[in-house]
């Protein structure tokens, strides 16, 4: 019996040995717990046993999505995994379904959900009533800019093509510290700079003219930017906007609420958890 199977058998039986546990859930990292616990509690309240790392086959501690996916053959409703979608969803990787006891973010990662435009703007306006900055307008503009570069990321997935266009190169087109001047008129100058950087970066790249990606649209593309990059950008912008107001953007606005409904990606998260838990 492999180390992965041995651990899986232990986790699968935890809820039978301890009836207070609804299920054991392997996450990519301990930082993922607040997001997933909120989503789970909305589906079925109770105590979830979260696993942030486990042993690889060589008995070393391991974490991350690939480690979670090693447990795929052994999952059930009492032991399942919750992972970031990364680009796997858009690249149509097979088998990552609720039927296989795999829950995913339906955005690049859980951080993207904290940046969902409509709810973020609502939280911002509640705390900073006199600001004329609109996160919905800014993120909508950014989303339209990154849509085509994201299509290239999805298409350029082989090792040979990935060397030409990858997440690292994509992120370099999204500067993280725009100035206050860049943020005038809902970030118009920042968006202009980003659009120019992306245009230059993909100028010599080629994809089929009719290439599209299921689930990716110009309206939701910003939710598929690498989570850390989007989160850090939004946090910097919010911190600039809140400077001198007495409002702490990260704790009072950005991290203050995780929603469980109201837009397609989070509704899909909830749907999958309902299927897995039989709620």
Q: Which residue's structure tokens are 């704790």? A: 251
Segment 255-275 shows an average pLDDT of: 96
Q: How confident is the model at residue 258 (pLDDT cuts 50, 70, 90)?
A: confident
CB contact at 8 A, 250 and 239: yes
CA–CA separation, 235 vs 55, rounded Å?
A: 34
Q: How confident is the model at residue 58 (pLDDT cuts 50, 70, 90)?
A: confident
pLDDT at 223: 98
- Which letter, b or e, does each residue of 73-98 get, where b requires 16 or more Cβ atoms within 10 Å of its Cβ? ebbeebbbbbbbbbbbbbeeeeebeb
CA–CA separation, 267 vs 117, rounded Å?
A: 15
Q: How confident is the model at residue 94 (pLDDT cuts 50, 70, 90)?
A: very high
Q: Which residues contact 26 (CB under 8 A, 6 or more apart)?
A: 11, 51, 54, 67, 68, 71, 79, 80, 81, 82
Which residue, among 30, 21, 106, 52, has the nearest Cα to 277 in the 3D structure? Answer: 21
pLDDT at 120 exceeding the cut of 90: yes
Which residue, among 90, 95, 35, has the nearest Cα to 68 in the 3D structure? Answer: 95
Residue 279, both tokens: 């709620």
Segment 111-121 shows an average pLDDT of: 98
């Amino acid at each position: 019996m492999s180390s992965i199977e041995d651990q899986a058998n232990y986790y699968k039986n935890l809820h039978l040995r301890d009836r207070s546990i609804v299920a054991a859930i392997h996450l990519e990292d301990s930082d993922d717990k607040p997001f997933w616990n909120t989503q789970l509690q909305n589906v079925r309240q109770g105590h979830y046993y979260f696993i942030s790392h486990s042993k690889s086959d060589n008995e070393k501690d391991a974490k991350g999505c690939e480690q979670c996916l090693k447990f795929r053959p052994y999952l059930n409703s009492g032991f399942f995994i919750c992972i970031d979608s990364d680009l796997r969803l858009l690249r149509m990787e097979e088998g990552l379904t609720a039927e296989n006891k795999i829950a995913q973010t339906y955005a690049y990662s859980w951080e993207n959900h904290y940046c969902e435009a409509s709810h973020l703007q609502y939280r911002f306006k509640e705390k900073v009533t006199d600001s004329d900055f609109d996160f919905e307008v800014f993120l909508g503009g950014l989303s339209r800019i990154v849509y085509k570069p994201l299509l290239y990321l999805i298409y350029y997935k082989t090792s040979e093509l990935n060397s030409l266009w990858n997440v690292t190169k994509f992120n370099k087109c999204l500067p993280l510290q725009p100035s206050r001047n860049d943020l005038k008129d809902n970030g118009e100058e920042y968006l202009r700079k980003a659009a120019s950087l992306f245009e230059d970066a993909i100028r010599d790249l080629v994809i089929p003219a009719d290439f599209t990606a299921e689930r990716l649209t110009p309206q939701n593309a910003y939710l598929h930017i690498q989570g850390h990059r989007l989160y850090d950008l939004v946090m910097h912008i919010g911190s600039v906007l809140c400077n001198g107001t007495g409002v702490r953007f990260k704790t009072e606005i950005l991290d203050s609420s995780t929603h469980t409904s109201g837009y397609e990606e989070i509704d899909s998260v909830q749907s999958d958890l309902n299927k897995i838990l039989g709620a």
